[in-house]
Amino acid sequence: MTTETPLTKHINLAQPLAMADYVDVGGYQSVKKAVLQMSASEVMAVVKDSGLKGRGGAGFPTAMKWSFVPDFEPQDPRYSEDKYLICNADEMEPGTFKDRWLLEGVPHQLIESMIIASYAIGANKAFIFLRGEYHLAARRLQTAIDEAYAHGYLGSNIQQSDYQLDLYLHTSAGRYICGEETALINALEGQRANPRAKPPFPQVSGLFGKPTIVNNVETLSNLPHIINQGPSWFKALSNNQDAGTKIYGASGRVQRPGLWELPMGITVRELLFKHAGGMQPGLNLKGFLPGGASTDFLTADHLDLVMGYDEVSQAGSRLGTGGIIVLDDHNCPVGMVLNLLKFFAQESCGFCTPCRDGTAWVVETLTRIEQGQGTKQDLDSLHKLCDFMWLGKTHCALAPGAVEPLQSALKYFHDDFEQHIDKHCCPYHGHH
């Protein structure tokens, strides 16, 4: 096991590397290698062999996703000249700020990565769909895009090859739902950001009805390193069966909240106590969300859990974005869940009833409980709502994601809910 940090080693938040300096440290080597020496299918094969999985939350194998783009012959009536790559940079998951670090600190790396991915899937147009509030990232990305055009890495005949790619920066009008890939595609087309029904999947019919791949910032950022160093190097970076490194985060009342690029599959204990410095003085760990707001709570019993996709799933949660949100024993779990559900209720696109009305109903119920006006019936209705909003009953995964912190809080912190009801107040904050 190594302690290499390929994604973040050239990050400079004060002033990211300009084109010349980025090239000096090996930047854009992978583009030359890919477009001048490899076929698209060879690039695809290398990424497949590397075992790279999506870092946006779902952990789907990247090359497998790419392989769903249909490869029709030009004489086929379904053939389309146009294919699109979209980078999902709409980072709105609470507790998650890893992509922002990459976008602001090393913008050229993302552009380099998108050239490789576009080449692999045969796309000639690519888009960065950026969270609207990321103003600094927008300025730095646009500067880097302009430099890439000026130096022959974007536009026609990239590095004297016959490959051409145009890259556009699109700053989003916001909303959490834009992180769902079909809602993102609708927003990019200028429509309302409601998720689409699937099938058809975007790989077949996405942006403007053409084959489209949507990948997360962190996922894409691995590509130059995989092309340069090879699949076996990438696999060796990790501690478990998931290949590569992961940008893990910790927020909440730890001593050193922040981000660290670490081998895939480190333990929760190592992340929270070695890297984040443990809990602040006088506080104990009560629980944590392992991968952003839309994951299930785990508790201090899970400290030796490996932070990998399969391991966290087996423990009853999801790795998600790898951004841990810590709940300490001086903070009210009911209040924390209420805060999260207010966010999800506000961010619901309103398309389907379970999400539109269910999230609002949960907020109303939790507010009553937190203010000491809750009843035992309220706990029953929360359990019912968890079922009402679960997977398969909604148009997309927003409501099930909102249910995850709620259902797990009801499981692990049931006593806290009961105390609110029995004492007619929040035991953490006294009477309201």
Q: Are residues 155 and 265 in the same domain?
A: no
- What CATH number is given to the structural domain containing 282? 3.10.20.600
Averaged pLDDT for residues 368-384:
97
Percent of the chain with pLDDT over 70: 99
Length of the chain, in residues = 432
Percent of the chain with pLDDT over 90: 94
Q: Are residues 31 and 91 in the same domain?
A: yes
Q: Are residues 358 and 286 in the same domain?
A: no
Domain boundary among 303, 328, 353: 328
Is residue 48, in this structure, part of any structural domain at all?
Answer: yes
Q: How far apart are CA 172 and CA 152, in angstroms?
A: 27
Average pLDDT, the chain: 96
The pTM for the full model equals: 0.96
- Whole domain around residue 320: which residue ranges? 245-328
Is residue 9, in this structure, part of any structural domain at all?
Answer: no
Q: Are residues 277 and 176 in the same domain?
A: no
Is residue 382, in this structure, part of any structural domain at all?
Answer: yes
Is residue 145 within 8 Å of residue 105, measured between CB atoms? no
- In this prediction, residue 431 carries a pLDDT of 52
Is residue 158 within 8 Å of residue 35, measured between CB atoms? yes
- What CATH number is given to the structural domain containing 345? 1.20.1440.230
DSSP state of 409: H
pLDDT, one tens digit per residue, over 198-247 is 999 999 999 999 999 999 999 999 999 999 999 999 999 999 999 999 99
Q: Are residues 225 and 127 in the same domain?
A: yes
Q: Are residues 229 and 373 in the same domain?
A: no
- The contacts found for 9-18 with CB under 8 angstroms, 24 or more apart, are 10/105, 10/106, 10/109, 11/101, 11/102, 11/105, 11/106, 12/105, 12/106, 13/101, 13/104, 13/105, 16/104, 16/105, 16/106, 16/107, 16/108, 16/140, 16/144, 17/106, 17/108, 18/147
Q: Are residues 361 and 415 in the same domain?
A: yes
Is residue 60, in this structure, part of any structural domain at all?
Answer: yes
- Residue located via tokens 């709940």: 327
Is residue 320 within 8 Å of residue 246, measured between CB atoms? no
The token duo for 316 is: 């009853």
DSSP state of 178: G
Is residue 371, in this structure, part of any structural domain at all?
Answer: yes
Q: How far apart are CA 141 and CA 428, in angstroms?
A: 44
pLDDT, one tens digit per residue, over 242-277 is 999 999 999 999 999 999 999 999 999 999 999 999
- What CATH number is given to the structural domain containing 131? 3.40.50.11540
Number of structural domains (the chain) is: 3
Q: Are residues 145 and 227 in the same domain?
A: yes
Q: Are residues 206 and 69 in the same domain?
A: yes
Q: Are residues 131 and 163 in the same domain?
A: yes
Is residue 212 within 8 Å of residue 86, measured between CB atoms? yes
Averaged pLDDT for residues 393-421:
97
Is residue 119 within 8 Å of residue 126, measured between CB atoms? no
Q: Are residues 200 and 97 in the same domain?
A: yes
